Structures are given as structure tokens and as C-alpha cells.
């Protein structure tokens, strides 16, 4: 079996997720979490792999996303040879599609 890293989720977020309208969809894909954990591993950025991506890449993050996600986006953009970072003002991790489309 795969070993995964425990990630603490704030209790208020857990409570919100329990009543979220998209919860049934999350439960439907729960069986894939073991595979996700195997791919994600220790949560370190695969900078060596990113350095092999030759295509243009736009990495998008929200200005109000959690700091570790903003940092990850910045590191990914820096590791990509043709990467560019876009930070969307006022956005969180749950980006508004209308703002992203622009």
C-alpha cells in the first residue's frame, strides 16, 4: 500500500465541504485518492521534470490563495524553461472562470 503525507485541513473547511453541493462528485472519485497520493508523493516540486517541458506554459494562481499554493505556482513557473506566472488580483485558489478566461 502507498504511504501518504497527512495534510491538516481546518475544521471550518471540513464542515463546509460536508454540505457542499459538489460533495457527491468528490465521493464518486474518492477511490482514486491512493493513485493521487502515489503521484504526488512527498509534495516536493519536480523541478527536474518541469525543466524538460519545452512548450510555453502559463502558471496561474490567485492573489488570495494560501501562501503555499502561491509559492508553488511561483516555483513551477520559475522551473519551466518557458514558464510565465500570472497572479490574478482578488482571486483565491477557487479561481473565477470569467477572470481566468481573460
- Clarify whether residues 63 and 95 are in a common domain: yes
Cβ-proximal residues to 45 (8 Å cutoff; 6+ apart), any chain: 72, 75, 76, 79
> Does the pTM of the predicted model rise above 0.85?
no
pLDDT band at 95 (very low <50, low <70, confident <90, very high): confident
How far is 45 from 50, CA to CA, in rounded Å? Answer: 9
How far is 28 from 34, CA to CA, in rounded Å? Answer: 14
- Clarify whether residues 29 and 50 are in a common domain: no
pLDDT tens profile 13-51 = 778 888 888 889 888 998 888 888 787 777 788 888 899
- Clarify whether residues 96 and 49 are in a common domain: yes
Give me the domain span that covers residue 23. Answer: 1-43
What is the structure's pLDDT at 2? 29
- Clarify whether residues 25 and 67 are in a common domain: no
CA 93 to chain centre: 8
How far is 53 from 55, CA to CA, in rounded Å? Answer: 6
- Clarify whether residues 34 and 15 are in a common domain: yes
Q: Which parts of the chain are beta strand (E)?
A: 57-62, 83-88
pLDDT tens profile 59-70 = 999 999 989 889
Amino acid at each position: 500500500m502507498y504511504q501518504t503525507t497527512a495534510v491538516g485541513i481546518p475544521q471550518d473547511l471540513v464542515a463546509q465541504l460536508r454540505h457542499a453541493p459538489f460533495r457527491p462528485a468528490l465521493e464518486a472519485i474518492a477511490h482514486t485518492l491512493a493513485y493521487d497520493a502515489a503521484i504526488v508523493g512527498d509534495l516536493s516540486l519536480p523541478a527536474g521534470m518541469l525543466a524538460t517541458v519545452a512548450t510555453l506554459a502559463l502558471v496561474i494562481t490567485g492573489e488570495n490563495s494560501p501562501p503555499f499554493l502561491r509559492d508553488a505556482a511561483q516555483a513551477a513557473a520559475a522551473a519551466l524553461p518557458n514558464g510565465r506566472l500570472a497572479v490574478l488580483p482578488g482571486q483565491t485558489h477557487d479561481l473565477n472562470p470569467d477572470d481566468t478566461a481573460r
